[in-house]
Structure 1
Amino acid sequence: MSSTTSAATPMWSSLPQPTSVDLTGGLWQPGRRVLVTAPQAGLRREAERLADELTALGHGAAAEVPAPGGVEDRDPADTQATVVALRTGDTGMASPESFTISVGDTVEVVGGSAVGVFRATRQLLHNLIAQDGVPRGQVRSEPAVAERGLHLDAARKHYPASWIADLLRSLSWVGITTFQWHFSESLGFRIASERHPEIVSAEHHTKAEVRELLELAADLHIEVVPSLDMPGHLRQALATHPEWQLPAPAADTTHALDITSPDAVRFARDLIDEYAELFSTSRHWNLGADEFVAFEAMDDYPVLADAARSRFGPAANGFDLLTAFANDTAAHLAEHGFTARVWNDGMFRGAVVALDPGVQVTWWTNWNALMRPVTDGLAGGHRIVNFMDSLLYYVLGEVNNYPYPTSERLWAEDWHPGAFTRLPGGVAQTWGTPYPEQLLGASFSVWSDIVDAQTPDEVAAGIRRPLRGMAERAWNAGSRLGHDAFLRIEAAIG
């Protein structure tokens, strides 16, 4: 980050930090009245939102949005009002999230799109909260990666709708773009179903609640990615349908769908069809395909190998059948308008069936030497989101050697979106900037393994700082802030 400020000049106090900062000294502070102008009709919502937020913060007791036509429409005698002018235009940067902010006697915001204006207004609010004013000068910013996400396992543990709404607002506060809603797991199925009410947990969300949350997410420029994990992680859904469980006398498969059975696959498709309508405004869908069986002991599931050889020839194995299931499910999702995603651990391990290049991969781990490296995903043409488990997994109860993430560790290990989980033996999987075009971004994850280990409020408090650290370092491909400076800003912005 470049800066011409002196030690006495107020610092730009926001998260994520802008790409470049050129400050001239002093603070812009709202006057007794603030006019938020937005001559473009598509920005009316952003102008009204900012006026409401300024009023709520006590900045501009009468913050308002003038009628269409902009600042020129105000009374020339109205000299007591200060102006925040919002518009979209050419920022000189490629991302629709890009923005410039010029702060003098007035504040002028230019966004690459409405979401860029939204990102910029968060920056203004951060500074007003942190230091009761916005430093004068100019900032420019665009993200290093297009996607910065949070995954929530709201299937093992039920999180109230009001809590998820507050979470969405907190995500938007620091530029998170994506909320992956994991609503089905072995310990719970948490959204109402008309087609299969027998599989739904007692504590669950109604579809009306889900629609309200989807509307809120859209208003906050957050995409919701439904996560209906299959063919594994289905114990709750299969508990009343043992006829569709994978047969394997020597192993527990009460969580695993029998992908050799057309009837079982139809059941899975029926679930997709119901929830595809509910999540019709989403663009992506994570179908899972992880931890289906004990992958290191695939030979213990002869039914998979037999079906694979019958369908694909004598060289095929169980991984080929799993990959084909992922491909077929992705094609079905495409009919509903979704781009499919899968977890990486069981992929790229078949002998004859390749994962469709259009399927995106959420790369979370490489703990086993037989799991393929990230280079295999890139070579296959897949777009990839970095879900790095070793630093970005918040696992309730800290089970399976997952200590709770901290911002200290993110800075100590210099994490950025191109740094993935290491291979066995400590071999790094790291790409520097400019990142490969296939790297979509990164995501933090909450997994509710030990349901009662924390209350929802304790989860919110626990993830706040490391999530904000990820947001800062994902936007900027690292951070020029030292960790102490990050902590000061993180505490100050509320």
Structure 2
Amino acid sequence: MNTGRRGWLRSIGIAALLTMVVAPTPAVAQEEQKPPVTVPALTDWAPESGSYVYGPRTRIVADTGAERRVAGTLADDLRAAGHGTVPVVRGGARAGDIVIDVRPAESALGTEGYELHAGKRLSVTGATGAGAFYGTRTLLQLLARGDRIPAGRTVDVPRYKERGVGVCACYIHVSLPWLENLVREMAYHKLNQLLLELKVKSGAHPEANTWGYYTKDEMRRLVALGEKYHVEIIPEINSPGHMDPWIENRPDLQLTDSDGTRQPSRLDITRPAAFDYYTSLMDEYAQVFTAKSWHMGADEYMLGSDFAKYPQVLKYAQDRYGPGATPQDAFVDFVNRVHDHAAGKGVDLRIWNDGLTGANTVPVRTDTTVEHWLNVAVKPSQLIAQGYSVMNAAYSLYLIRGGFHSDTGSLYDQSWDPRAFEGEKLTSARGVTGAKVSLWPDNGRGETENEVAVRLWPALRHIAQATWGVPHPDATYAEFVARGTAVGHAPGWRDLTRVPVADGTYTFGRSFTASVQRTADGYVTLRSAAGCLAISGGRLTLNVPLQPGVEATWDTCDATNTLQRWELEPATGGFRLVNAITRMALTVTDDGRIVQYPPDQRPPAVWPLT
């Protein structure tokens, strides 16, 4: 038997046998030729033989200041992703190392493109720190599938410069951990703009500090995270419509109709004091935000009404621009004055498109970026022809709490890209800055933050793909979803659905005893003989009781009632209770009542659980 085998070996030759043993099957060879799985997908992958192996001796080699900043962030993220502690060193790369290279002369890569080469070592090259940073996002996604990366090279440059997510945290407070998760996920998928409509607690105008605001320190923390991860956080105070969060306690600034009725959501653009008030808020935001853009909204100013009910607006326009002026000219005048205030501080202006109906004789400043969401008379092609930069913020990309949700699968199957606006499909991308998905709280109690997150991640990955690369990298949407699942979540992403205690009956200090049960979306309900703990009183805003001081009550249990869901927030000595929708914490009054308050107004109660 052995003699026969030795004869067979001699007859075919040792070299030929080795070839038979190690040569991959045709299917395996074809698989090795495919680009590694990432989101956005790599479309310029040139495979090579062998592989790069990440291991315990891996170092990050970076020399210049820009390179070391990228390397430091990468080291943090490798550790957060469970890949160990990797030292950052200068010079002398060896096998297994990661090399960060910023070369300004590589102008073909643009400001955000990069080249990645995997061989015995792995190098990431960008013309800027941002480009090298995005190359490290690809590296992190490749390592999410294991420590061995197929050898090859890619040059990866975004198709659009603005790749974003818009969040209205303007009425319903969105928790800071949720926003921090969003920033990390955006960066991981190479999105670069978080357009955030929100209220920052004002020192100049304390009368405006109705809930739900953010403190300046909270926003500084978010802005710092955005800067670390190359996500520009662009603030918005919507005006001159939708101003009710700011002027409900300022009737002197509210637009008054011909019947003498004040409109708490509309700023009176004819009053100098209104412009001064708005720009003072802009200046206060400049203490927190570092973005080079300001979003003033400018949408739906006459929503549900018309200019004819406000004759003072027409008079203002005619006094300023002559007898041929229209009420719309007064609106455009306000936009342009805000533009000029921002430009004086080196900041660009952004607005929504629906106010540009063509009824104006005064044009909006052409260096204003227009975010197109609604199909009105003036089309995107006309705006671009007039010299405006236009971002696609189509209604089809919206996710609304308790309402419309973007059909990501359908958009993917249509090979949607940022040229496809509401009402018009452009043949060229000229003048189109990019696109964003938008989250709105129209029915603030319709879904919890954790439920919104489940809906968001597929839409986020799709907009990343459509704005960075080709819109349809996989044959089916199911394959694209699998691509997203394979790369997973960003390093440092927190699972906010984890509940820190097991289901069971607990006594909350001296206040009450209740059965604690986890909900499907990662909160808890508190059930006693009297019912389920809820926030149900007070004046409603977007269907949510947002007044501080509203008492928590024991209501009839209803699994669909999101106001009966609570976050158990660990604290020294026990737990705080934060309502899943109002985002206010419970505190105990001197007379024993349990009420909700923002944590910076009243210290939250901390309950030991027994």
TM-score normalised by L of structure 1: 0.88
2:175 is matched with which residue? 160
Of the candidates 416, 421, 425, which is equivalent to residue 429 of structure 1? Answer: 425
Q: Do 1:130 and 1:489's aligned partners in 2 also have CA atoms closer than 8 Å?
A: no
1:471 is matched with which residue? 464
Return the offset for 1:43: 1.2
Deviations 1:452-492 (A, max 9, x none): 11111222221001111110111115233332331111001
2:433 is matched with which residue? 440
Residues 1:300 and 1:249: Cα distance change in structure 2 (over 3 Å) = closer
Counterpart Cα distance in 1 of 2:252 and 2:420: 43
Counterpart Cα distance in 2 of 1:133 and 1:313: 71
Aligned residue for 2:152, secondary structure, equals: strand
Report the number of matched residues. 458
Aligned residue for 1:256, secondary structure, equals: strand
Runs of 4+ with >6 A deviation: none
Q: Do 1:295 and 1:346's aligned partners in 2 also have CA atoms closer than 8 Å?
A: no
Paired AA for residue 64 in structure 1: P
Counterpart Cα distance in 2 of 1:408 and 1:229: 31
1:419 is matched with which residue? 420
Say yes or no: does 1:334 pair with 2:348. no
Aligned residue for 1:82, secondary structure, equals: coil
1:187 is matched with which residue? none
Deviations 1:382-402 (A, max 9, x none): 111111112x1111111xxxx
Residues 1:288 and 1:46: Cα distance change in structure 2 (over 3 Å) = same
Return the offset for 1:249: 3.8
Of the candidates 240, 247, 252, which is equivalent to residue 238 of structure 1? Answer: 247
Cα root mean square deviation, aligned:
2.1
Counterpart Cα distance in 1 of 2:433 and 2:325: 31
Residues 1:236 and 1:54: Cα distance change in structure 2 (over 3 Å) = closer
Counterpart Cα distance in 2 of 1:481 and 1:302: 56
1:33 is matched with which residue? 57
2:386 is matched with which residue? 380
Further displaced range: 246-255 or 461-470:
246-255
1:309 is matched with which residue? 318
Of the candidates 111, 135, 158, which is equivalent to residue 96 of structure 1? Answer: 111
Say yes or no: does 1:487 pair with 2:508. no
Counterpart Cα distance in 2 of 1:219 and 1:491: 25
Return the offset for 1:196: 0.6
Paired AA for residue 184 in structure 2: R
Return the offset for 1:9: 4.7
Counterpart Cα distance in 1 of 2:61 and 2:441: 44
Deviations 1:229-274 (A, max 9, x none): 1100011212111121111146772210111112222222222222
Counterpart Cα distance in 1 of 2:53 and 2:92: 18
Aligned residue for 1:109, secondary structure, equals: strand
Counterpart Cα distance in 2 of 1:54 and 1:339: 36
Deviations 1:200-227 (A, max 9, x none): 1234211111111111101111111110
Matches within 5 A, 1:43-58: 43-58=67-82
Aligned residue for 2:97, secondary structure, equals: strand
Of the candidates 144, 149, 152, which is equivalent to residue 134 of structure 1? Answer: 149
Aligned residue for 1:110, secondary structure, equals: strand
Q: Which runs of 5+ in 2 are unaligned?
A: 1-27, 489-610
Of the candidates 391, 395, 399, which is equivalent to residue 394 of structure 1? Answer: 399
Say yes or no: does 1:144 pair with 2:159. yes
Aligned residue for 2:281, secondary structure, equals: helix
Q: Which runs of 5+ in 1 are unaligned?
A: 73-78, 184-189, 423-427
Matches within 5 A, 1:55-454: 55-59=79-83, 61-66=84-89, 68=90, 70-71=91-92, 82-89=96-103, 90-91=105-106, 93-183=108-198, 190-249=199-258, 253-279=263-289, 281-294=290-303, 297-366=306-375, 368=376, 371-390=377-396, 392-398=397-403, 403-422=404-423, 428-432=424-428, 435-436=429-430, 438-454=431-447
2:455 is matched with which residue? 462
Q: Do 1:394 and 1:447's aligned partners in 2 also have CA atoms closer than 8 Å?
A: yes
Counterpart Cα distance in 2 of 1:344 and 1:394: 19
Return the offset for 1:162: 2.0
Q: Do 1:91 and 1:99's aligned partners in 2 also have CA atoms closer than 8 Å?
A: no
Deviations 1:135-160 (A, max 9, x none): 21111110001110111101121012
Residues 1:56 and 1:345: Cα distance change in structure 2 (over 3 Å) = closer
Residues 1:145 and 1:98: Cα distance change in structure 2 (over 3 Å) = same
Q: Do 1:315 and 1:351's aligned partners in 2 also have CA atoms closer than 8 Å?
A: no
Return the offset for 1:351: 3.7
Paired AA for residue 38 in structure 1: A
Deviations 1:178-215 (A, max 9, x none): 111101xxxxxx31100111111234211111111111
Q: Do 2:255 and 2:262's aligned partners in 1 also have CA atoms closer than 8 Å?
A: no
Return the offset for 1:40: 2.0
Counterpart Cα distance in 1 of 2:109 and 2:308: 49
Q: How much identity, in percent, do the aligned residues show?
A: 28
Aligned residue for 1:194, secondary structure, equals: coil
